[in-house]
Each structure stands twice: as C-alpha cells, then as structure tokens.
Amino acid sequence: MSPSLRSVCRRLGWGLVFPLLDFRLGSFDIFPDFVGYLIILLALNHIRAMDSHFRYAGWLALVLLLLSLPQLIFKSSIDVEQFAVAPLGMHAYVQATAILHVWCVILIFRGLYRIGKATTIPPGLAAAVDSSTKLYMALFAIQLLFYPFMLNMEDSVVLVLQLSSLFILFIELLLIRVLFRLSLIV
C-alpha cells in the first residue's frame, strides 16, 4: 500500500469519528460534524481516481458538510424524552442526514474492498470489510424501516431504537478500526 493511501485511510478514520461523537459544552459541540466531513472530503479527493465509489462518496461528504453547518447554531439530535414531540421536520432532517452518512460510509468501504481485492491487503481483512459493511447496511435498513412506527409508540419501545443505534455505532467503530488497520499494512 502506498504511503498516500495509508495517510488517506487514517484521515478517513478520523473523519468518521467526528460525526459519531457528540460532546457539548453548553450549546457548543466539541467535535463538530462538519470538521469530520471536511476531513473525509479532503481525504477522498486524493483517491477519487482509484475507484468510482470514492468520487460518489466525496459528493455525499460535501452534501453532509453543508447539511451539518446548521448544527453549529442549533441542536439537531432528538433525545428519547423529546422523540414523540419533536417536529416532523426535525425527524426528517435527522433521518436524511443519517441515510446520507450511511450511504457515504458504505461507498467508502465498497471502494476500499475493490482496491483491497486488487492489492496486497490480506484476504481476511478484505472479508472483514465486506461482512462488516453488509451487517452495517442491514442493521441500518432495519432501523430505518421501524423508525416511523416508533413515532406512535410508547417511550419504552423507543429504547429498542436506541439499542439498535448503539449496535450500529459499535459496527461503525469496527469499520473505523478497519481503516486504521489498513493504514498499518505495508
């Protein structure tokens, strides 16, 4: 793997960490999502010629960067206590950005899988990329399918949505770990 690809994998990993972390001091987000999407966009610009997935993921990163700018001004997440009373527009915004984020992640890993098959990446790691991406996609699709039904259910049922979100977060952390593992391969 070339030194530039190693650097890109590390930057993609760090870029994907920012949207996952939501630590606030008052109303200020310590890890703003737009910084992560900017890092992803810049990293993908270096490798966009290697695979068409990276080019499309770069466009999605740009859209996500623009969509994440309002988060600097107002809170754009929905707490469990506010789930049923949050405006429909907020639900649409949260779900749209989540769909675009997952789509961007999947495109990045599809591109890495294609590159991995053509280079010296160990087959076990390439298989881990493929299986983790499929699991990530399936879990998110299930969550997306049940999300509208959660709007009309009790708060206790919304905990199921939170548990599935935690599992998806865990899978995304595993995918980020794969990026850092790829950056160590010589």
Question: Which amino acid belongs to residue 38?
Answer: L
Do 35 and 18 touch, CB atoms closer than 8 A?
yes
What is residue 186's predicted lDDT score, i.e. its pLDDT? Answer: 43
What is residue 166's predicted lDDT score, i.e. its pLDDT? Answer: 86
For the chain (186 residues), the mean pLDDT of every run of 10, in chain order, is: 77 93 76 92 91 93 92 68 72 87 92 77 79 88 80 68 82 88 75
* Structural domain that includes position 73: 3-184
Number of other residues whose CB lies within 10 A of the CB of residue 160: 13
Q: Which two tokens stand for residue 126?
A: 């390439």
DSSP character string of the chain: --HHHHHHHHHHHHHHHHHH---EETTEESS-HHHHHHHHHHHHHHHTTT-HHHHHHHHHHHHHHHHHGGGGTS-----GGGTTTS-HHHHHHHHHHHHHHHHHHHHHHHHHHHHHHHTT--HHHHHHHHHHHHHHHHHHHHHHHHHHHHTTS-HHHHHHHHHHHHHHHHHHHHHHHHHHHHHH--
Do 111 and 51 touch, CB atoms closer than 8 A?
yes
What is residue 77's predicted lDDT score, i.e. its pLDDT? Answer: 66
User: Whole-angstrom Cα distance, residue 94 to residue 92?
Assistant: 6
Domain count, the chain: 1
What is residue 157's predicted lDDT score, i.e. its pLDDT? Answer: 66
